[in-house]
Structure 1
Amino acid sequence: MANVSTKREISSAGSDELSREVKRVKSDDKNGEEDGNEPEWENVLSAFTTSSVLSDSAREKIMFVHGKIADNDAVVVLEKTPIREDFLAELFRGSKLRLEMKNDIYSSYRLQAPPHLNEIKTTVVCPATEKHVKKYQRQESFLVEETGEDYRSITLPYIQEQSLSLQWVYNILEKKAEADRIVYDDPDPEVGFVLLPDLKWDQKQVDDLYLIAIARQKDIKSLRDLSSEHLPLLQNIFQRGKEAILQRYDLPASKLRVYLHYQPSYYHLHVHFTKLGYDAPGCGVERAHLLSDVIQNLQADPQFYKTRTLSFPLRADDGLLGRFKEAGRL
C-alpha cells in the first residue's frame, strides 16, 4: 500500500540513492550480452545477518527480511522469478524429481531445477533507515477520502514539511544514473519524458512487464497538480510510451495498463506501464487512475483533479494518516 513518507524513491539520503539502495545479485542479461562477457557475480549478502522477517506472501512468492550488513541496517527483498516458457524444455530435461504422493492418475513431486533456472530476484536496501523498515512491515491500511480542500489544508502542507529528496529522479533525467536502462527518451522540456524499467521487473519476460515514464517537468507533484495545460504532456507520454514498448517488447497497446498512482510513492509526475493481466503492486482501483481516464477528465473539466474528492489507502504508521485523524477527517 502507499506510504507517502517511506517509499524508497523519496528517501532523503542524497544523490547516490539509487546506486546504494538497489544492488543486483546479477546484472541485466542485456548488459552482459552487449560486451560479450558474462555478467559479474557478487555476494553482497555474505555478511548479512537476519533480525526479523518483516512480511511475506506465499501466494506472491516474496519475502521482506530485516537485518544487518556489517554495521548497517539492511532490508533484503527475496522474490521467486516467474517460470519462463522458453526454458521449459531445459527445465523438464535437467531437473530432478522426488515423488511425494501418487493416487491413481494423480501424482505430486518436489522438483529440483538446475541452479540457473531457479534464481531468486534480490533487492538490497543498505543502509536502510527506520522508514524503509516500516515500509516493508505488514501494516493495517485505511481508506482516506480527500477533498480538494483537504489536499490544500492537510496533504500539501504535510508533503512540503517532509523536504524529501528527488535527486535520484533528476539523476535519471540528466543521465547521471541508469542511463543504460533507458528504453525511450524525449528531451523536450515541456512534453518530454524518460521511459525505463521499474526496479520490480527483472526484464526476463514480458508477462510481468513494468516500466515507468518520468516527466521532465519538475513542478508537477501528483495528480492534484494536473490541469488542461498538461494535456500535451500526458498525451505524449501515453502515445510515445506505447509505441516504444511495442517496438522494444513487441507488446501492443491493447495489452497494456497505463496509469498514475494517487497518492504517488514519490512527488514527481510519473506514469506506470504494466502488462494487462499482471497483478502489479498498486494497480487496484483504490490507488490507480488510468491515464486515458485522466486525459478525458481534464478535457471535460480543466480543474477536475484540483476539486474532485479522491480516495486512497494509507498505512497505519503513515504520518499523513495521523494528520487526517487530527483534522477529524477519519
Structure 2
Amino acid sequence: MRQAVTLHGIVATTKMQKFYILMVFGIFVSIPGSGACGRRSRGGCATSEPPGGAMSQRSPRRRACAVRGRARAMAEGPQPKRKREEEEEKNGGAATQGGTAAAFTLSDLRVRRVLRESARDKIVFLHAERIGLSGEGTDAVVILEKTPFQEEKIPDLLKKPMHAELQMHNDIYCTFYLSPPPELSEIKATVVYPATEKHIQKYLRQEVHLIRETWEDYKNITLPFIQSQSFSIQWVYNILEKKAEADRIVHENPDPSNGFVLVPDLKWNQNQLDDLYLIALVHRREIKSLRDLTAEHLPLLRNVLQEGKEAIVKRFGVPGSQLRIYLHYQPSYYHLHVHFTALGYDAPGSSVERAHLLVDVIDNLAMDSMYYQKRALTFPLRADEPLFKKFQEAGKV
C-alpha cells in the first residue's frame, strides 16, 4: 500500500537506517503562457524580445526558441533534441508576414499527438497546432525536455518541504516519488512554429538504416541530392555576419579563410557544465561537409581545435581533455561546423556511426590530402528521409 509522507518526516523517522532515495519525477505538464514566439529563427521561431533581451531576470541566457517552462508535479493540466538546423522546404512553411511568424504564447498551442519520446533522455516531441481567428490550425512542433540538475540547487531539493510518496521499502532500499517545488523542476520547451511537414517527419519515430557511401556514391547520389535541395542556412550566415546572436559569441577568429565563430548550441541552457555544448561555424561558405575537406583546410581545422579549446577553458573552466570535439556525417545542415560537448555528456549524434573526432580528421588529412575523397563513409539515415530513398532507388540499400 502506498504511503504519502513528507520528506522531513522520512528523514526524522529513519535516522538509524541508510536509505537510497531514487528520485523519480512523475511530471504532468501543462503548457503555461509564459513563453512567446515572435521573430523567426533557425529552429522555426524565437522570442519576441529584442536582441540582447533577457528571457527572464533569473536566467538571461535562455533565448531564441528555447522557452523555459516549469514542471509542476500533479499540475492542473492534463517532455527535446538542436540540432541547430533549419531544413525547410522551399516555400514550405506556414504563411508569415515579412518572414516573421506571428507572436503567440505557449498556451495558444493545442497538442495533437506525441511524435516521439525517450524515457532515458527525459524528452518528448509533440505535434501541436495553433488555432487562428479563422478557425484554421497552423502546425507546430513542441519539444519538452527535463533540464539537468544544477549542483548549487541540489541541497534545496532535500531541505525544502515537498510531497514524497513512498513506493517501495525493502531492507536498506526505499523508492520515493517526489513533487519538488517549481524552481527545482524546470522543463525546457523548444518550439518550431510554423512547422512544415518536413519538421514533423523529422521528429517522428522512424526506422533507422546504416548506409555505406563510397566516393562514387557521394558524387552520383549524395552530392546531386544536396544540390537539388533548398536547405535554408540563413541563420548560420546571420551569426557569422553578427546579424543575430552576436551577444552569444564565445570566441571569433575573423580570418575569412581560416577563421570561425564559436557559439553555445541551443540544446545547452548554460546553467550547468554537465551538458556543455558549443558549435564552431567556419567563415568559409563553400565547405559543405567532411567530404569537401582536403589538406588545404588543415590550418582552419587546427584553429578550430586549438582556439576552441582555449576559449572554452577560459570562459567555462572545462579543459580540452574533458571535451568531445567532432564533426557529423551526414551533417544536419550543409555548412561545415564542429561540435564541442562535455565528454561525460551523451550528446545527440555523438555515437560512433555519425561522429568523427576532429583530431582524427586532422591526422587523416595530414597523411593523405584526399582521404575523404577516397574512403567509404558509414552513416545512419531514417527510413523517411529523402536521401535514404535516393540510395534505395540506386539499389544501394
Structure 1 residues 28 and 252, CA gap change in structure 2 (3 angstroms)? farther
What corresponds to 2:75 in structure 1?
A: none
- How far is 1:31 from its partner? 2.9
Structure 2 residues without counterparts, runs of 5 or longer: 1-38, 49-53, 63-67, 71-102, 132-136
Q: Write out aligned runs for 1:10-89 (5 A).
A: 16-18=40-42, 20-23=44-47, 26=55, 31=60, 44-70=105-131, 71-89=137-155
Whether the 8 Å CA contact 2:41–2:235 is kept in 1: the answer is: yes
Tell me the residue number matched to 1:7: none
Is the 8 Å Cα contact of residues 126 and 142 (structure 2) preserved in structure 1? yes
Query: Are 2:393 and 1:326 equivalent residues in the alignment?
Result: yes
User: 1:304 — aligned with what?
Assistant: 371
Higher relative contact order (CA 8 A, sep 6+): 1
The 3-state SS of whatever aligns with 1:76 is: strand
Q: Measure, in 1, the Cα distance between the counterparts of 2:161 and 2:318.
A: 31
Report the Cα offset of residue 329 of structure 1.
1.2
Name the counterpart of 1:162.
Answer: 229
1:102 CA displacement: 2.4
Shift of 1:107: 1.9
Secondary structure at 2:143 match in 1: strand
Distance 2:346 2:330 in 1: 19
Matched residue SS, 1:107: strand
More helix per residue: 1 or 2?
A: 1
Work out the CA distance in 1 between the residues paired with 2:185 and 2:104: 17
Is the CA contact (8 Å cut-off) linking 1:23 and 1:123 kept in structure 2? no
1-structure distance, mates of 2:42, 2:334: 16
Letter in 2 for 1:63: V
Partners of 1:183 and 1:194 lie apart in 2 by 8
Pair 222,278 (structure 1): closer, same or farther in 2 beyond 3 Å: same
Question: Cα 1:131–1:242, aligned 2, differ >3 Å: closer, same or farther?
Answer: same
Matching residue within 337, 340, 356 for 1:289:
356
How far 1:217 moved relative to its partner?
A: 0.4
Give 1:23 shift.
4.8
What code does the residue aligned with 1:31 have?
Answer: P
- Identity of matched residues, %: 57
Partners in 2 of 1:190 and 1:28 — Cα distance? 39
| Among 263, 268, 273, the residue aligned to 1:206 | 273
Q: Distance in 1 between matches of 2:335 and 2:56?
A: 27
Cα separation, partners in 2 of 1:22 and 1:282, compared to 1, 3 Å: farther
Alpha-carbon deviations, 1:268-317, whole Å to 9, x = none? 00000001121100001100000000000000000000111000000000
CA contact (8 A) 1:211 1:273 kept: yes
Contact kept, 8 Å, 1:95 with 1:111, in 2: the verdict is no
Aligned residue number for residue 65 of structure 2: none
Query: Residue 277 of structure 1 aligns to a residue in which SS?
Result: coil
- Letter of the 1:77 partner, please give it: I
1:72 Cα shift? 1.7
User: Cα distance, 1:22 vs. partner?
Assistant: 4.2
Which of the numbers 243, 246, 252 marks the counterpart of 1:176? 243
Q: 5+ unaligned residues in a row in structure 1: which ranges?
A: 1-14, 34-38
Matched residue, 2:296: 229
Alignment CA distance shift 1:26-1:43 (3 Å): farther
Listed as ranges, the matches of 1:105-254 within 5 Å are 105-254=172-321
The alpha carbon displacement at 1:85 in A equals 1.6
Distance 1:32 1:53, change over 3 A: closer
Per-residue displacement from partner, 1:235-280 (whole Å, max 9, x unpaired)?
A: 0000000000000110000000000000000000000000112110
Partner Cα separation in structure 1 for residue 58 and residue 346 of structure 2: 24
Q: Does the aligned pair in 1 maintain the 2:280–2:339 contact within 8 Å? A: yes
Question: Post-superposition shift, 1:88?
Answer: 1.2
Question: How many residues end up aligned between the 2 structures?
Answer: 311
Corresponding position of 2:4: none
Q: 1:141 to 1:83 in 2, by over 3 A?
A: same
Structure 1 residues 197 and 122: CA distance shift in structure 2, 3 A? same
